[in-house]
Structure 1
Amino acid sequence: MPILLPQTTSSRPLGRWTASAAHVRAVILAAGAAVAAVVGSRPDLLVIAAPLVVAAIWGQLTRPRGAAVAEVTLSNGTLREGDIASLVVRVNGAPGADGVFTLASSRWVERKPRSGVAPIENGVGSLALRTTRWGRREVGTVSVSMSSDWGAYHVGPTDVPDLATATLPVPAAFDASAPTPHPRGLIGLNRSARPGSGSEFNTIRQFHPGDRLRRIHWPVSLRTGELHVTSTYADEDAHVLLLVDAFSDLGPREGIDGRPTSLDLTVRAAGAISEHFLSSGDRLTLRTVGAANVPRLGAGSGARHLRRVLETLASISPASERRDDGERAVRGVDANALCLVLTPLVDQTMVGLAHTLASRGMTTVVVDTFPEHLTDNPGNVYEALAWRIRLLSRQAQVHSLVTRGVPVVPWRGPGSLDHVLRDIARRASAPRMGRRR
């Protein structure tokens, strides 16, 4: 399935102007009344048919001569969930003509007005639409019809090629106060284990050539008679790998205004985590498992990279590549990266990938995005029994990960990763046994 790129402009000729039934009827009745008045010497018939004669002549004189072309424009091709965009229809080559256009209904696209019908006056018409779920999709077919004065001539209805939009997921609320483990970059906000230019205090030492004068510690310098300066730990950036599970989309799909599915939670959590780490100056890599035609996003940082992350998440089509074993996604990953596996822990492939990353010595955390409302109100006793069996199997998979040293953290928004990141940082700074040579 090819990726649907945003398309904000579309146009099509409306065709030839044809006489309406009312205009043909007015012409025939006016001509018949004129003939009857002359043959039968009935001038009163001319008076009765005078309105039809005026309407027929006026409609004929105001007949549009040019070819009408409808141009449909979408105000923004890339939206966020819940955003509103304007759909504008302009008809060129039809001066004085009015009409209507209709936007066909499309899933996850709300029309305002809800009927999807809007008038075209002076060649311009518009309506508002609202996207309610992330993804790339067509907004619906626009059908345009126009008529001249007195409804004498009309053209259409003609369908204009569909427009396409990319709806980016709205990142969930997330914040983490714990430091990112294993900073190994050049710049950032994470405290490194080595001394250097930073903001966190390390120790007080003697002055060396090249030290900044503002770091002189005057109380110690006056007491010892030699210049001493304060040294700090270096601030560096860390590398974060997001591994997104796209094998399943569990739950009713209700959009931004309803309950989230498992993939909704996964995608929005990935967006929130990306926004947090990228705003902190860290580098981030995004890989997807179980979805076809999703580009591999390499390491990057900054607001532009966040936009690329959200666009990549919006291109996910769930379960479109069931044979994906994830080996390509974890190939070439930095050994010092913090690997965050976002999954509802339903497909065994993601559990195996978490084991694989941990066996390679990488710092791995599984973020559980299973929606709790799926098991709250089962429809019948058989569905409840099926969920109970599946949750028991899922609990065994979680236990196998925890036993291996891979923490499994349920997604709860802000603070979800604080505890586990502090534990990882504490474990990384703890003394280790080494082999004596």
Structure 2
Amino acid sequence: MPEWRPQRMVTRRLGTWEPTAAHQRAIVLGAAGAIVAVIGRRADLLVIVAPLVVAALWGHLARPRSEVTGTARLGDTTFREGSVTGVRVTIEPSPPEVHGIVTLAQAPWVERKPSSGVVELEDGAATLGVRSTRWGRRRVGTVGIALVSTWGAFRVGPVDLPDLASATLPVPAAFDASAPTPHPRGIVGLNRSNRPGSGSEFNTIRRFHPGDRLRRIHWPVSMRTGTLHVTSTFTDEDAHVFLLVDCFSDLGPREGIDGHPTSLDVTVRAAGAISEHFLRSNDRLTLRTVGAAEVPTLGVGSGTNHLRRVLDTLAAISPATENRDTGDRAIRGVDPNALCLVLSPLIDPTMVGLAHTLAARGMTVVVVDTFPDHLVTDTTDVYQSLAWRMRLLSRDSEVHALRLRGVPVVPWRGPGSLDQVLRDIARRASAPRMARR
């Protein structure tokens, strides 16, 4: 399957100018009326058909003689949910006294401005507004161009240009965590280490040693004791966060950013929010998906550029396109000291099994429950409500089994969702453990 690429600009020749039916009708009626007026010596009939003859002759003499090329350009090929961009349509060359319209076909999850999708060309150009209401990769819509010359004598089109393609990135949900990330190992993050070193968090005041920076000198203590003292700090470290995203199902009606979210909407936006939080803290992050085909592989990275790659990967998800995926490939080669966050509505048993597998390997696993509550509360169908009750009872037993294994299951509630569980994990990691000698 060819690699998907955004399509910013498309161009197509609109073809040759052809006479319209009105122009042909004016020629036929004008010629026939003139002949009948001359043969029948009817001056009044000649006066009647004279405007048709003049319009046909004028339209023929003023017809455009150059072939026209239409171009459509998309303002942004990558933007966020709910953002608006423009489609700029131009024709070259722009013949004088030529009128035209541009149409934009309706596409899923794309709102047109104006809503009719029809605008008139002015000076050979026109602009339409486009608003994407849901994340993903999609076609913006087919652009059609139709041109007519003076008196509607000649026309080109309507001609459809190739479709423009764009990627809509998910808008990360509001998320923040004040708890530290467990198992920090690197040297560039913002997590406090237990080892002294170059950092930002105060440790103690000690005697000056060769190699200490002069700006670390603590002058009050140095003046009081008569010897140089410096302030020491704890080193700052980064942690490795592993995100496992469930793409097996997309539960609920797809209403876009303006309506209720589906389970996959909650999962993708939560993954974006968590990624943004940890990457802005200089932690390292890995993203893997289960149940979606043709999703690019994303390695370990950090920083703003890696966040953009994470959002691009989330936008490429197509739900339930790889139902035979067991997830073994997704969890292969995971850092044993990584914080494993499994984002799933816990409907497909495969994700529950993967959480058990990661926990059995001795990794730190947290399951983030992204099941939207409105799927159950807004149900009006009695049979659908009964089916949900039966499925949720089975789901509760699976969640209970995870908790018995020591895997916390945290419902996604935005900011602060992971604070308590991360504090508990950090406290558990720092607690003394029994070891064999």
- On whether the aligned pair clears a TM of 0.5, the verdict is yes
- 1:314-371 CA-partner distances (Å, limit 9, x unpaired): 0000010011111111111111111111111111111111111111111111111000
The correspondence of residues 43-82 of structure 1 with structure 2, limited to 5 A, is 43-82=43-82
Question: What is aligned with 1:22?
Answer: 22
Confirm or deny: 8 A CA contact 1:4 1:164 kept in the other structure.
no
Quick one: distance in 2 between partners of 1:45 and 1:290?
A: 77
Match of 2:14, SS?
strand
Amino acid paired to 1:23 = H
In the alignment, the residues of structure 2 paired with residue 265 and residue 225 of structure 1 have an alpha-carbon distance, to the nearest angstrom, of: 61
Contact (CA 8 Å) 2:187, 2:235: kept in 1 or not?
no
Deviation readout 1:27-72 (Å, 9 max, x if unpaired): 1222223323433344444333332222111100111112222111
Moved more, 250-259 or 184-193: 184-193
Give me the CA root mean square deviation. 1.6
The reply to whether residue 305 of structure 1 matches residue 313 of structure 2 is no
| Aligned mates of 2:236, 2:363 — CA distance in 1 | 22
Give 1:224 deviation, angstroms: 4.7
Residue 149 (structure 1) aligns with: 150
The residue identity in structure 1 corresponding to 2:81 is E
CA deviation after TM superposition for structure 1 residue 268, in Å: 0.3
The code of the aligned residue for 2:419 comes to D
* Aligned counterparts, 1:3-14, within 5 A: 4-14=4-14
Shift of 1:287: 0.5
- The residue aligned with 1:36 is 36
> 2:207 corresponds to which letter in structure 1?
Q
SS class of match (2:392): helix
3-state DSSP class of the match of 1:300?
A: coil
Q: Which runs of 5+ in 1 are unaligned?
A: none
Are the aligned partners of 1:37 and 1:45 in contact in 2 as well (CA < 8 Å)? yes
Paired residue type of 1:207: F
Q: Could you tell me how far apart the structure 2 residues matched to 1:140 and 1:353 are?
A: 39
**Which residue matches 2:353?**
352
Report SS of the residue matched to 1:383. Answer: helix
The answer for the alignment partner of 1:161 in structure 2 is 162
| Alpha-carbon separation, structure 2, partners of 1:21 and 1:377 | 56
Name the CA distance, whole Å, in 2 between partners of 1:192 and 1:152.
80
Partner letter of residue 417 of structure 2? S
What is the percentage of aligned positions where both structures have the same residue? 70
User: How far apart, in 2, do the equivalents of 1:211 and 1:27 lie?
Assistant: 97
Q: Secondary structure at the match of 1:396?
A: helix
After TM superposition, give the deviation of residue 2 of structure 1 in Å.
5.5
1:288 counterpart SS class: strand
Contact kept, 8 Å, 1:66 with 1:94, in 2: the verdict is no
Matched position secondary structure for 2:300: strand
| Corresponding residue number in structure 2 for 1:246 | 247
Mapping for residues 28-427 of structure 1, pairs under 5 Å: 28-96=28-96, 97-222=98-223, 224-427=225-428
Q: What whole-Å deviation, never above 9, does each CA across 1:204-243 have from its counterpart, x for those lacking one?
A: 3332211123323345445555433222110111111111
User: In terms of mean alpha carbon deviation, does 2-11 or 284-293 score higher?
Assistant: 2-11
Q: Matched residue of 1:299: which SS?
A: coil
Tell me, what secondary structure is at the counterpart of 1:382? helix
Q: Which aligned segments of 4 or more residues in structure 1 are displaced greater than 6 angstroms? A: none
Instruction: Determine helix, strand or coil for the equivalent of 2:299.
Output: strand
Contact 2:244–2:340 (CA<8 Å) still a contact in 1?
yes
Partner of 1:298, secondary structure, is coil
Task: Summarize deviations over 1:187-206 as a string: whole Å, max 9, x none.
Answer: 11111121101111222333
The Cα offsets for residues 353-392 of structure 1, whole Å up to 9 and x where unpaired, read as 1111111111111111000001103233222221111111
Q: Which letter does structure 2 place at the counterpart of 1:40?
A: G
Partner of 1:434: 435
Q: CA deviation at 1:261?
A: 0.4
CA distance in 2, matches of 1:273, 1:203: 33
Paired letter, 2:29: L
d(CA) in 2 for partners of 1:134, 1:300 = 23
1:150 and 1:156 map into 2 onto residues whose CA distance is 16
Deviations 1:273-321 (A, max 9, x none): 1111111111111111110011121111111111110000000000100
Deviates more, 1:300-309 or 1:30-39: 30-39
Structure 1 residues 29 and 380, CA gap change in structure 2 (3 angstroms): closer
The letter for the 1-side match of 2:364 is T
User: Separation in 2 of the partners of 1:123 and 1:334?
Assistant: 58
Contact 1:192-1:234 at 8 Å conserved across structures: yes
CA contact (8 A) 1:247 1:347 kept: yes
**Uncovered stretches (5+) of structure 2, i.e. residues with no partner:** none
Does 61-70 or 127-136 show the bigger shift? 61-70
Moved more, 99-108 or 219-228: 219-228
Q: How many residues align?
A: 436
How far, CA to CA, are the matches of 1:367 and 1:92 in structure 2? Answer: 54
SS at 1:136 equivalent: strand
